[in-house]
Structure 1
Amino acid sequence: MKRQINNIRRRFIKIFLLGRKIIQKIPLLLGSTAASRSASTGFEPSAVVTLADAVVVITGSYRGIGLALAETFLEEGAAVVINGRNQKALHQTLNQLQNRFPKVFGVASDISTSSGARLLIEESIAKFGKIDVLINNAATSGPTDKKIWDIPEEKWSSVLKTNVTGPFLCSKKLIQWARTTQHPVRIINVSSGIVDNGAPLLSAYTVSKMALEGLTLSIEEDCKGEKPLVTAVSIKPRSVMTNMTKGYYAATEYGLLDDPNVLAPIFRFAATAPPAEIMGKTFSEPAFQIDPVGEIVLNNNLSGIQAVTIGPETFKPENLSPGVNRAGAYMHLLQNPFRICPAVAEAVTQAIFDPEIHGYPDPKYTDLRKFLSEYLGISSDGLVFGPGASELIERALRTFSNRKAQIILTRPTWGLIIWPTLTRCGVSPVEVPYKGRLKTKDIRHDLDGMYRQITSATRLIYLVNPCNPTGSIVNKDDLKDFLMSIPRHIAVLLDEAYVDYCEPEKQFNLAKHLERIPCHVIGLRTFSKFFALSGFRVGYAYTRPETAELLSRLGLPFTISNIAQRAALAALKDVEFQRRVYENNDRERRRMSEAFDQMGIANMPTHTSFLLFDCPLERDRMRNDLKKEGIFMPNVDGVFEITENHAITSIGLPEHNQKILDYLSRF
């Protein structure tokens, strides 16, 4: 199976490379104009390598990754020079290769020394007349059983000498030859994913690979403004089966690694791509395998990432059976059943006829800011606005996280925005499971568990209260104590999207405690749910002014339209509409919970506009059956453990809730 997958990968990459080669020929077909544009980039066609005519020198190549790459380039028709310090092992490998390939040569030398690097470069040129590609692959892990303070100086120096000085000496000698002969060359430095996150007991290796990427950048910088003779690029391959990884990983982990030949596609690309595509860049090999176009063009954390999409079936009435009632379609995304409030409808109608409505919106959101400042009792400078709370969540995660940051979440949590954003930031969060069970009606956040996970790397804690998707709420005194205990350098994002549905006596008044809480706590609210403005996209964060300034650094002006600002202000002032929404939800959530109890269906008392329950039948069947009645149930199947058959229902209008109860009573 592994071999089949690898073959598929190779075919995919070859197809991609073939397409790129065709694109490269387009300027020749377009004539002088396109050619002049190509020339204006500072890169010449002669710098593009054709492997059939190339000479490739690979350090540390009598085994492991180097040998796999040697075989790859030999199969492409290139002349290859293999290298290593162990003369006996080198010649044994050379003899095996020469039985299959005519254009292979070996140079036994220690490239970490000036004489050894010079010998490799000079002997290669003497044999084949030139060098087109140098792959700095030779490396050693150094001690794998010692922490940084226990590593002997000579061991540390040995790693840096092999992994950094060696590539420097080989690159230096090759660049000097290229400048003398005016022959284009490219240098491929074999880095490691360890530079992004580090690893225990590999400090010398980590530092050396970081330095190797610095070598790539330095070559790029020093070659700027000159004729494009030298192209340098770094590649971060995944861990594969080699002697080095065998000495680090446990036997079971080592057995799961791929063969070194899976790395061939990205090295083939790096050796043949136009210089402008690769110069000075570092490519992630795993990302390239998954998404080559994304890794080449974007060359950032977005490689291999899919766009965040949500496609509610309620938006596709053409897919429904003729005559299906869509009155309960709002329940699918937990929207307000009362739709737009009268005050908002009036404000929007008036806004349409305002001769100034066409202009750019107020970037400071002055009227909305003033009202919310008084409404919450906080400084107006502590408010940050965004087009929905989702954007503010994404912004907070990007603001307070990095590859080394630790983000603490509950499990489960509202993950539509959280997970894609963390992936883009390259962050693997720490998840803290809930306490309690649905059957005992005591599901709750494990605040003590979250606190125990805090380390010096912790940058942000994301807590939804009242919680989506369980409907539970944290005791307000416990929440206050928790926030007071968080170190001041940490940000806590308290998502209060459903707080207005909660009984007032159970709500935690964050605004009241903002100035006393030491950490950077951020309250997050939305107009989408309780205020029935999901289509207007308005959300806001409230915090201390210094934290608001940090959160605003990734914000953009004009993100909330004139009409949306007026709608939000009108909704805040429409107290009668708010009373109707709250009373209906309060009455119906209690009625549904009691009805579930009578039917023997485990459910969680809710403080939100939805109710978590243990579905008595297959969930897809329930949703499909109720759809025929015009009720569109939310789908949270991927949120809970696979062994749990939990579902949620929106707390809607009484007639819609009754349809759900009548249906479930049959099971």
Structure 2
Amino acid sequence: MIGRPRAAVEGLPQYKPGRSAAQAEAEHNLVEAIKLASNENANDPLPSVAKAVSEAALGMNRYPDHRCMEVREALADRHGVGLDEVTVGSGSVGVLQQLFAAYIDPGDEVVYPWRSFEVHPVFCAISGAQAMTVPLVDHAFDLDGVAVAVTDRTKLVVLSTPNNPTGTVCSTAELQRLLAAVPPDVIVVIDEAYREFVTDPAVADPIQTVLPDHPNALVLRTFSKAYGLANLRVGYGVGHPDVIGALDKVALPFIVSGIAQVAALASLEPQAGTELEERVAGILAERDRVSAAMSDLGWPVVPSQANFVYLPVGDGAMELFVRLEKQGLVTRPFEGEGVRISLGTPTQNDRLLAALGPFDQPG
């Protein structure tokens, strides 16, 4: 071992990204594999955004605006909040990592439901936090259990809603009840990476319905999913100026590239908004169609509010993952629990349904 890494790093769980289509092709001697493993937008970038990015590429020899001021201004205007209530980072996950850096000392507690986004235990380990996990109930968050798990050592509560990998959501009433039960010095993160795909009428915009009454809440969002900017890494947080100020203090210099900032600004323009609505409508239609077809085939499907579906097949997860990958369909398995499948194009989804076939009931 060269050097002396921290003990926390030595035993660190690694974040496991979805396997690529190229990996599956090489391993199984396939001509064409489809990646349905990382919840990416299967569509090409929005035309107006792609044009803006192409033009901005000529400025790549210059450093970007460290504070992303134009993006902050556009987001503050979009959400009707103050400029000091918005920060921009390297995807919503980048803002979340800044939150850990700003608030967590070794031994502090971080409460989150599990299973959920896999960076949560990684960030806890890096910061030396004590992870306090609360089991899901029927694949959804038990927010009463989350409230009970909060102690005087808790610094953060982290909620990914819609949840990754199950696609379930917290209602606005549930969030408000949780925040009423949590001490005001505990930051409650509402990570809405999949916000644009939510159709449940019980879920209102927390920026408008939760933040005004709860200054200890922080909403995170990203341009990676619905907007299709996963490669550019840009997201943002909306919260109380004190929280935003702490996040800004620990931001790496120039963490959001100039091209990413241009893409985010173009994504917030009215023309892109119209394009986005059409894209999202198509994804939602596919979500309904694919979920219904899977149910008709006998597969257990968790009702999703995201751009993926989750099959809770338990011990059959790895077998299903391998079977699909051998047919050129790369999905995301969770051993002993289930398989998460990102929605692709209609043609790709047809190929998935054909590969799945009828569900073999255990026993």
Same fold (TM over 0.5): yes
Report the CA distance between 1:636 and its aligned residue. 2.6
Aligned counterpart for 1:346 among listed residues 51, 71, 89: 51
1:659 maps to amino acid: R
2:331 to 622, 633, 645: 633
- Return the alpha-carbon distance in structure 2 between the equivalents of residues 490 and 338 of structure 1: 39
The answer to whether the aligner puts 1:498 opposite 2:203 as a matched pair is: no
Q: Is the Cα–Cα contact under 8 Å of residues 24 and 30 in structure 2 kept in the other structure?
A: no
Question: Against the structure 1 CA distance between its residues 496 and 484, is the aligned structure 2 distance closer, same or farther, given a 3 Å change threshold?
Answer: same
SS in 2 for 1:312: coil
Closer, same or farther: CA 318–300 of 1 in aligned 2, 3 Å: same
* Cα drift, residue 471 of structure 1: 0.8
**What amino acid does structure 2 have at the position aligned with 1:583?**
A
The change in CA–CA distance for 1:313 and 1:410 in structure 2 (over 3 A counts) is: same
Structure 2 distance, partners of 1:342, 1:425, is 40
Q: Measure, in 2, the Cα distance between the counterparts of 1:563 and 1:341.
A: 15
How far apart, in 2, do the equivalents of 1:432 and 1:343 lie? 43
Query: Is 2:41 the partner of 1:336?
Result: yes
Q: Is the 8 A contact 1:522 1:542 kept in 2?
A: yes
In the alignment, the residues of structure 2 paired with residue 502 and residue 660 of structure 1 have an alpha-carbon distance, to the nearest angstrom, of 23
- Counterpart of 2:216, as a letter, is H
After TM superposition, list the pairs within 5 Å mapping 1:148-187 onto structure 2.
none
1:600 aligns with 2:298: yes
Q: How does 1:192-591 map to 2 (within 5 A)?
A: 297-298=4-5, 301-305=8-12, 308=15, 310=17, 312-316=19-23, 319-321=26-28, 324-326=31-33, 328-329=34-35, 331-353=36-58, 356-415=59-118, 417-436=119-138, 443-503=139-199, 505-513=201-209, 516-573=212-269, 574-591=272-289
1:420 counterpart letter in structure 2 = V
Report the Cα distance in structure 1 between the residues aligned to 2:18 and 2:311, rounded to whole angstroms: 24
Say whether the 8 Å CA contact 1:584–1:653 is kept in structure 2. Answer: no
Cα distance in structure 2, aligned partners of 1:450 and 1:576: 38
Q: What is the rounded CA distance, in whole Å, between the counterparts of 2:64 and 2:74 in structure 1?
A: 17
**Residues 620/528 of structure 1: CA separation in 2 closer, same or farther (3 Å cut):** same
* Structure 2: distance between partners of 1:613 and 1:547: 37
Q: Which residue of 2 aligns with 1:660?
A: 352
Deviation at 1:616, TM superposition (A): 9.2
- Displacement, 1:481? 2.5
Distance 2:314 2:186 in 1: 42
1:390 & 1:659 partners in 2: Cα distance?
31
CA distance in 2, matches of 1:478, 1:601: 29
| TM-score, length basis structure 2 | 0.90
Contact 1:324–1:629 (Cα < 8 Å) also in 2: no
Letter in 2 for 1:524: L
Cα distance change of structure 1 residues 315 and 323 upon mapping to structure 2, 3 Å threshold: closer
Distance 1:450 1:515, change over 3 A: closer
The amino acid across from 1:596 in the alignment is M
Larger RCO (CA within 8 A; separation ≥ 6): 2
Deviation at 1:304, TM superposition (A): 4.3
Return the offset for 1:486: 2.0
Aligned-residue Cα RMSD (Å) equals 2.4
1:400 and 1:491 in contact (8 A); partners too = no
Which secondary structure state, in structure 2, belongs to the residue aligned with residue 302 of structure 1? helix
Deviation track 1:523-560 (CA, whole Å, cap 9, x = no partner) reads: 11111111111110111111111110112221122111
Structure 1 residues 483 and 333, CA gap change in structure 2 (3 angstroms): same
- TM-score by structure 1 length? 0.50
Q: Partner amino acid for 1:528?
A: S
Residues 102-128 of structure 1: CA deviation (Å, up to 9, x unaligned): xxxxxxxxxxxxxxxxxxxxxxxxxxx
Give the number of the structure whose alpha-carbon radius of gyration is greater.
1
1:472 Cα deviation from its structure 2 partner: 0.8
Contact 2:321 2:339 in 1 (8 A): no
* Letter matched to residue 343 of structure 1: S
Q: Is the 8 A contact 2:299 2:358 kept in 1?
A: no
| Native 8 Å contact 1:499 1:507 kept in 2 | no
CA distance in 2, matches of 1:333, 1:463: 19
User: What is the distance in 1 between the residues matched to 2:339 and 2:332?
Assistant: 8
Deviation at residue 459 of structure 1 after TM alignment: 0.7
Distance 1:650 1:351, change over 3 A: same
CA–CA distance in 1 between the matches of 2:215 and 2:31? 51
Cα contact 1:601–1:616 (8 A) shared by 2: no
For 2:154 and 2:314, the matched residues in 1 are separated by 40
What displacement does 1:617 show? Answer: 8.7
State the SS of the aligned residue for 2:244: helix
| Greater Cα offset, 503-512 or 316-325 | 316-325
* Alpha-carbon spacing, 1:324–1:427, altered in 2? closer, same or farther (3 Å): same
Q: Is the 8 A contact 1:394 1:418 kept in 2?
A: no
More helix by share: 1
Inter-partner Cα distance in structure 1 for 2:210 and 2:239: 7
Do 2:17 and 2:38's aligned partners in 1 also have CA atoms closer than 8 Å? no
Distance 1:376 1:486 in 2: 25
Within a 5 Å distance, the mapping from 1:47-62 to structure 2 comes to none
Partners of 1:305 and 1:424 within 8 A in 2? yes
